[in-house]
Chains A and B, each alone.
Chain A
């Protein structure tokens, strides 16, 4: 089955700083999804990437999928306390009918 490795496992940054979270797959990605989980809540869909080299942005968050479609990065510009939470990357499971997720990156933004 497809494995997704996320790095770093956790991150503490000062407000206003930029940061990057990586997600690496053991197999070619045909759909890569980024989600955010606020502490104690459910996951919220952020972005989907499907094509090699694709890049999408939403507000101050940018996600990219590399040309080989095995690695994705999530970049946050000028981080704010509202960005705090757990970021998870997900990819289609072997069956294609559910998502497998990485173990998440816990982000804390300090004032």
Chain B
């Protein structure tokens, strides 16, 4: 069983569309994250949720809206997609909010045409 699973793994879409990426963890962790990895492999934190509550929003455009229906799920919805949104999006989880041992999903590669 995959500990942190993301779907879809690949997503190709047109500018202006709206898309969602789903993430689920079966580790019983309290905290989940979304990271963005750009074409230069730079990994940057976007959001962090602890027990379904948003604790970090790192100056991400309002077009990005995370939703955590329960502790095991953190979905990412993106409105009005732009070319610059093309990246690999990683979901991760950790047992506690202030620990650096993160468990990552395999990533969702988003390509905006």
Contacts and interface: CB of A to CB of B under 8 A. Distances in A.
A83 interface: no
Count chain B CB atoms within 10 A of each CB in A48, A88, A97 and give the residue with the most. A97
B25 to A, nearest CB: 12
B45 A44 contact: no
Interface in A68-111: 86, 88, 90-93, 95-101, 103-104, 106
Contacts of B106: 40-42
Interface in B21-51: 31, 33, 40-45, 48, 50
A48 B100 contact: yes
A101 B45 CA distance: 9
Given A42-B105, A42-B107, A95-B56, A104 B41 contact: yes
Given A42-B90, A42-B107, A99 B45 contact: yes
A97 B102 contact: no
Interface of A: 31, 33, 35, 40-45, 48, 86, 88, 90-93, 95-101, 103-104, 106
